[in-house]
Amino acid sequence: MKEVILITGSSRGIGAATALLAARHGYAVCINYLRDAQAAEALCAQIRAAGGEAIAVQADVGDEADVARLFREVDARLGTLTALVNNVGVLEQKCRLTEISAARLERVLRTNVISYFLCCQQAVRRMSSATGGQGGRIVNVSSVAARRGSANEYVDYAASKGAVDTLTIGLAKEVANEGIRVNCVRPGLIYTEIHASGGEPERVARLESIVPMQRGGRPEEIADAILYLLGPGSSYATGTFLDISGGL
């Protein structure tokens, strides 16, 4: 059976590493992005040059109509979806909780939580054996922030990841008997550009000493865990969590 994967927010960082690894595992890959078409197309070209299949689709996954269009494009251009990675995630400038505006909360929760619900809905409709689907796997990308809380940095972001964890548990049970496994990866401090959005591009290097393994992680180390949870090696795992965080 042809394996088709959609990875949200995959033009760079952990999503891009996951797209490259999935292509190497034989998946036809849909790379989703918000603004950086050039980066997404370059990633597609890299996958195609290595003999893989990839498309890039611009869509704001916090927007219901965009999500519906994104999934229709996957249907039409790649075929039946067999795997979804909800990877998109944003954070904003570091601050205390009292400084978080309602508008910021809405932005963070829309991208980090609502998008995960919207994409899970579209995926389950296609995958569920209850509606004639062939089954599938979903991996949600949360964060160790869900249990650490990100005090004085971004409690809104940490709380959004707590919601992702609960979504994983609830949906996994809802569809466990319909051929769909739903699992979650919680990265620790990983070298990507997300930290610049919080106002500190060098945040991972500064915090390496609090990590028991004394170093930040690479996006590829998260991609390995995601591919494990998508693959046959985890066939009895659903509603479970892999913390990939050097012990943090």
Positions in 51-90 near ligand NAP (CB under 6 A)? 60-62, 87-90
> Does 238 engage in binding with ligand NAP (CB under 6 A)?
no
Closest distance to ligand NAP from the beta carbon of 216 (Å): 8
Positions in 149-178 near ligand NAP (CB under 6 A)? none
CA distances from 61 to 68, 77, 79, 86 (A): 9, 18, 20, 10
Q: How many CB atoms lie within 10 A of CB 190?
A: 22
User: CB burial class (10 A; 0-12, 13-18, 19+) of residue 240?
Assistant: middle
Binding mask 96-115 for ligand NAP (x = CB under 6 A): ---------------x----
DSSP tag of 217? B
Which residue lies nearer to ligand NAP by CB, 190 or 225? 190
CA distances from 14 to 61, 78, 159, 178, 241 (A): 17, 22, 20, 29, 17
The residue annotated as part of the active site, out of 154, 157, 191, 236, is: 157
| Site residue total, ligand NAP (CB under 6 A) | 29
d(CA 65, CA 5): 20
Helix (H), strand (E), coil (C) string for 72-119:
HHHHHHCCCCCEEEECCCCCCCCCCHHHCCHHHHHHHHHHHHHHHHHH
Pick one of 5, 15, 22, 171: the residue that binds ligand NAP (CB under 6 A): 15
Pick one of 27, 33, 71, 116: the residue that binds ligand NAP (CB under 6 A): 33
Pick one of 4, 5, 6, 11: the residue that binds ligand NAP (CB under 6 A): 11
Which residue lies nearer to ligand NAP by CB, 35 or 72? 35
Residue 157 appears among annotated catalytic residues:
yes
User: CB burial class (10 A; 0-12, 13-18, 19+) of residue 104?
Assistant: middle
Closest distance to ligand NAP from the beta carbon of 26 (Å): 23
Residue 135 · residue 178 · CB < 8 Å: yes
Pick one of 171, 182, 184, 190: the residue that binds ligand NAP (CB under 6 A): 190
Long-range contacts of 149-152 (CB under 8 A, 24+ apart): 152/94, 152/96
Positions in 112-141 near ligand NAP (CB under 6 A)? 141
Length reported for the chain: 248
Which residue lies nearer to ligand NAP by CB, 6 or 28? 6
Stretch that binds ligand NAP, among 19-27, 96-104, 182-190, 205-213 (CB under 6 A): 182-190
Please give the residue ranges that form the binding site for ligand NAP (CB under 6 A): 8-15, 32-36, 60-62, 87-90, 111, 141, 143, 187, 189-190, 192-194
Instruction: Write out the catalytic residue numbers.
Output: 157
